[in-house]
Amino acid sequence: MADGKTYYRLPEDLMEDMTSSSPENYLKIKPDGTVTLDMMTIPYSALEIMASVSILDVHNTDLRATASLIKIGNATETFRKNNVYEWLKENSSGFRTAIELAKKRWGKQIIHENLMIARVKELSLRVQIERSFADLKILVKLANDHIAFPCDQLPAIQKLVEKSGHVIKKAGAK
């Protein structure tokens, strides 16, 4: 409590003398490879970095961070140059592995939203679909008889498939 206001800890400006900006003062590596955060001393900026590159959860009253390949891949260059990020890469085997994997895959893996993929084994149907949507240039041919298209085009493609007398088999994510 400070000036009649309750805080879970003192605001940053009151804590300057109490904490160092060195990550080993507020991050600890556990034997299982996870990183625990000391909520009493971690600077807010470091907490923001941790939240942007890891999955945070509470385990036995500790706030722990586990490397998230997806979050690391989406981290901005500013975050990747931060001393907390560098410390994680040097001191945590889990983060080091995830960071190296993200670096290897950088630019090679693209995640699209609102995209559907269909496998069309029947050659005549695939040709019919490709010709019907050629003017719109919305179809992308993929390997192994697959095509990709925007989600909003699904009703039109379904209508064409059903009209041609073929059956649609749906597969969902598990």
Residues of the chain with CATH 3.30.70: 115-163
Check residue 134 and give its pLDDT: 84
Q: What are the pLDDT digits (tens) for 47-77?
A: 999 999 999 999 888 899 999 998 998 888 8
Instruction: Judge whether 60 and 70 are in contact, CB under 8 Å.
Output: no
Taking CA atoms, 159 is separated from 156, 164, 165, in Å, by 5, 9, 10
Q: Which sign does the torsion angle of CA 15, 18, 22, 27 carry?
A: negative
Query: Which class does domain 115-163 fall in?
Result: alpha beta
Burial (CB < 10 A; 0-12, 13-18, 19+), residue 155, is exposed
Q: What are the pLDDT digits (tens) for 97-120?
A: 999 999 888 876 566 778 888 899
For residue 173, name the pLDDT band (cuts at 50, 70, 90): low
